[in-house]
Amino acid sequence: MTAGMQRSDAAGPLDGFVTTAHLASFPGIEHKGGAGPRSGSGGQMGRLNDRVAIVTGGGGGIGGATARALAREGASVLVVDIDEAAAERVVLDVEQAGGSAAACRADLSEEGEVVAAIAAAMARFGRLDVLHNNAALTESDFLTRDTAVTDLSLDVWERTMAVNLRSQMLTCKHAIPEMLQSGGGSIVNMSSGASLKGDRTRTAYGASKAGVNALTMYVATSHGKEGIRVNTIVPGLIITDAVRAHLDAKMLAGLGKATLTPYLGQPDDIAHLVVFLASDESRYITGQMIVIDGGMSAHVGLGGDG
């Protein structure tokens, strides 16, 4: 991967909390803040038919699974990744399954490239309803340089903040005005269990993801009455190629013991949650940090192996 690595294929240390969303309706915003079931041009029903989504870091394991899941529900998807070839492979998967998608290369730490990516979605599909902020620095060689604070180099800190946090601020900044033209939308940010508790390493990563949590609440508060919903997914261990690259079999086995489910998380588990948060089924959920970690954060020690 190049210096602009932006693919969210891994989650950090694996603890978190989830707040409870009320399930009542609120008059006046019934069709804002997410996509609902609508009949598409082919007459097929999908939760996201006639809607347009952007998935950043869309060429990776989680991003690719999410782009495919959104398309299966009827959305047209702009797959954004710094690795254009990876994005194009996901687009091919979507198209072969009968969906609609396009690829876009962008370094989302640069505001001009964010503006261009949003413009590409509007030019290709004519509207914007869903933004999934999934891009992050996950390349194993880079993460090994993200150390305890006394050994942490400033360039690692600044690059991590630029890609993991600034990119999400910039995409929110430029996506929201386009969403408002269609009456609202749903933004789904990606955080990490590393944002909620400390560790002996990956200081910059954890701090950047904590910033995502705060950003989510502030953007949700600022734009909620306009029909913009904003939530954060806080993943635990999700098995992707990037995870396998920096966790060996022994480490994975140990983490598996701490997971309460009899299986480890897969990219599709995140993708299904993104689809839910993008749809009107979640219309009363905003400003939340939603943990998806197989129960790893629900106990102490290795209580999950019994």
**Residues classed as catalytic:** 205
Cα–Cα dist 194/205, whole Å: 7
Choose among 130, 122, 177: nearest CA to 36: 130
By CB atoms closer than 10 A (0-12, 13-18, 19+), residue 240 is buried
The amino acid occupying position 78 is L
Amino acid in the structure at residue 181: Q
| Integer Cα distance of 198 and 150 in angstroms | 15
Return all residues near 138 (Cβ < 8 A) that are at least 6 apart.
Answer: 5, 7, 8, 9, 10, 60, 242
- The helix/strand/coil state of 121 is helix
> 28, exposed or middle or buried, with CB in 10 Å at 0-12, 13-18, 19+?
exposed
Is the CB of residue 235 less than 8 Å from the CB of residue 189?
no
Q: How far is CA 87 from CA 56, 77, 100, 103, 190, in A?
A: 10, 11, 13, 5, 18
Q: Please report which residue ranges of the chain form alpha helices under DSSP H.
A: 61-72, 84-96, 111-125, 140-143, 154-160, 167-181, 203-223, 241-246, 249-257, 267-278
Ranges of H-type helices in 126-202:
140-143, 154-160, 167-181
Distance CA 193, CA 286 (A): 19
Count Cβ atoms within 10 A of the Cβ of residue 257 and give its class: 0-12 exposed, 13-18 middle, 19 or more buried: middle
